[in-house]
């Protein structure tokens, strides 16, 4: 039996798990079906959204959903062909939005985010990633005072969680981001929001740190993870097998079939996110700006200006609908007059999402040597270091730094 711990998936979550397992002296081997960090870790908005404690499943979003669904290129879309398969997930999503469950998820998310911020600070320092991190905050924008007022319950919840923010108008709004359309009458600035210069380059730098510490990587698609005596066997699509002492399934949107083969019916669905990355200099963007009423953000990266977001519950197999990227870019040009929209590169990514907006972190029912770490939705980069710490604690039998029970894979 190999004494390695195998990690299925070399996205940002798998890389953070590898890094933290190495801190405990473990040998790790990543197994990746594609390229390192070439899934959702490649083209996300690059934010450490530690202030984003509000679950997606909320009473507010359910009020907005019918209007959004009427617009096929709006912030939320469900292709009709996908509706029968997605219906059980939507039912769980609705249950998660009920007031008591929503409050519970928000409290848990708040604790996880505080842990994530501390964990990320430590990982960035130890892995030598400080040059990749920016502390320029986030500016959420509103087109009316009524829209700002409707957001107040969420800001009050953040205030109770100790999150700092500033509601801004007029000259202060223009100072934080010059060149906005006059349609935006107010904004909320969260100075604690951090970002990375480019999420793909950040992930590659973490990969380099793992490799320099003795990590290994195998290429191939894992089709089964199975208990095997005092260890674990991983079967690949090409017929080869790998042996390991323990295994972690951190394959993002591709994790559900592996869990199902182990007897764990985890309701993971895929949010398809779209973006366009414009060349550097397309706009003088001072920080990430969020257009919450339209479901997308615009982010300044070292590699360009990224316009992206929205949610399409369409699974892994449908062809991309890049009209969604184009629609967001058209809106961005109206919201940021002077934005140069030529020369952009479109992208689609697959976010692994669970109905209550909390990840699945914990052992499989099939074996205490097999762990799950997926389902982070929009927050994989943000929560990656915290997930790494939790998995390392669980794998070594230590008491975790926060209570892991709300993330139990069998909670559904």
pLDDT one-digit tens code per residue, 370-393:
999 999 999 999 999 999 999 999
Cα–Cα distance measured from residue 167 to residue 112, given in angstroms and rounded to the nearest whole number: 25
Domain presence at residue 49: yes
- The count of other CB atoms within 10 Å of the CB of residue 394 is 20
Domain presence at residue 16: yes
Cα–Cα distance measured from residue 64 to residue 69, given in angstroms and rounded to the nearest whole number: 9
CATH number for the domain that contains residue 221: 3.50.50.60
The whole-number average pLDDT for the span 255-279 is: 96
Angle at 201 between CA 199 and CA 203, to 5 degrees: 70
Per the listing, tokens 């405990």 go with 24
Residue 22 has pLDDT above 70, yes or no: yes
Domain presence at residue 118: yes
Q: What percent of the chain shows pLDDT beyond 70?
A: 99
pLDDT of residue 267: 97
Cα–Cα distance measured from residue 297 to residue 308, given in angstroms and rounded to the nearest whole number: 6
Domain presence at residue 256: yes
Full domain range(s) for residue 249: 1-58+97-132+195-268+356-412
Cα–Cα distance measured from residue 309 to residue 288, given in angstroms and rounded to the nearest whole number: 12
Domain presence at residue 53: yes
Contact 309, 45 (CB under 8 A): yes
Domain presence at residue 284: no
Contact 408, 354 (CB under 8 A): no
- Is pTM beyond 0.75 here? yes
Q: How confident is the model at residue 78 (pLDDT cuts 50, 70, 90)?
A: confident
Computed over every residue of the chain, the mean pLDDT equals 95
Residue 397 has pLDDT above 70, yes or no: yes
Domain presence at residue 234: yes
The whole-number average pLDDT for the span 365-369 is: 97
How many domains would you assign to the chain? Answer: 1
Angle at 52 between CA 130 and CA 151, to 5 degrees: 140
pLDDT one-digit tens code per residue, 178-201:
999 999 999 999 998 999 999 999
pLDDT of residue 74: 75
Q: How confident is the model at residue 65 (pLDDT cuts 50, 70, 90)?
A: confident
Domain presence at residue 115: yes
Residue 68 has pLDDT above 80, yes or no: no
- The DSSP line for 54-104 is S-SS-HHHHHHHHHHHTSTTSSEE--GGGHHHHHHHHHHHHHHTSHHHHHH
């Amino acid at each position: 039996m190999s004494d390695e711990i195998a990690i299925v998936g070399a996205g940002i979550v798998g890389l953070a798990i590898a890094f933290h397992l190495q801190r405990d002296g473990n040998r790790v081997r990543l197994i990746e079906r594609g390229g390192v960090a070439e899934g959702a870790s490649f083209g996300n908005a690059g934010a450490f959204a530690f202030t984003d404690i509000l679950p997606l499943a909320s009473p507010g979003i359910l009020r907005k959903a019918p209007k959004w669904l009427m617009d096929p290129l709006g912030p939320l879309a469900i292709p009709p062909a996908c509706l029968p398969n997605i219906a059980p997930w939507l039912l769980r999503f609705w249950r998660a939005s009920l007031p008591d469950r929503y409050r519970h998820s928000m409290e848990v998310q708040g604790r996880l985010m505080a842990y994530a911020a501390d964990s990320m600070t430590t990982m960035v320092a130890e892995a030598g990633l400080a040059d990749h991190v920016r502390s320029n905050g986030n500016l959420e924008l509103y087109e009316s005072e009524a829209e700002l007022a409707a957001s107040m319950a969420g800001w009050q919840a953040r205030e109770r969680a100790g999150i700092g923010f500033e509601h801004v108008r007029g000259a202060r709004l223009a100072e934080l981001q010059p060149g906005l359309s006059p349609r935006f009458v107010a904004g909320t600035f969260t100075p604690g929001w951090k970002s990375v210069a480019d999420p793909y380059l950040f992930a590659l730098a973490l990969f380099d740190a793992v490799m320099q510490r003795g990590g290994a990587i195998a290429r191939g698609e894992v089709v089964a993870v199975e208990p095997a005596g005092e260890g674990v066997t991983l079967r690949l699509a090409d017929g080869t097998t790998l042996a390991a002492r323990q295994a972690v399934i951190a394959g993002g949107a591709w994790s559900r079939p592996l869990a199902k083969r182990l007897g764990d019916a985890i309701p993971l669905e895929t949010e398809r996110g779209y973006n366009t990355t414009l060349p550097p200099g397309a706009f003088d963007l001072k920080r990430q700006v969020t257009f919450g009423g339209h479901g997308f953000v615009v982010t300044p990266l070292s590699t360009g200006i990224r316009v992206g977001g929205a949610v399409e519950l369409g699974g892994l197999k449908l062809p991309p609908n890049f009209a969604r990227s184009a629609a967001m870019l058209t809106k961005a040009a109206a919201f940021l007059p002077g934005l140069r929209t030529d020369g952009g590169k479109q992208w689609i990514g697959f976010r692994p999402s669970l109905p209550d907006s909390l990840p699945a972190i914990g052992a499989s029912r099939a074996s205490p040597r097999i762990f799950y770490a997926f389902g982070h939705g929009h927050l994989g980069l943000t929560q990656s270091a915290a997930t790494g710490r939790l998995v390392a604690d669980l794998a070594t039998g230590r008491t975790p730094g926060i209570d892991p029970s709300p993330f139990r894979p069998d909670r559904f």
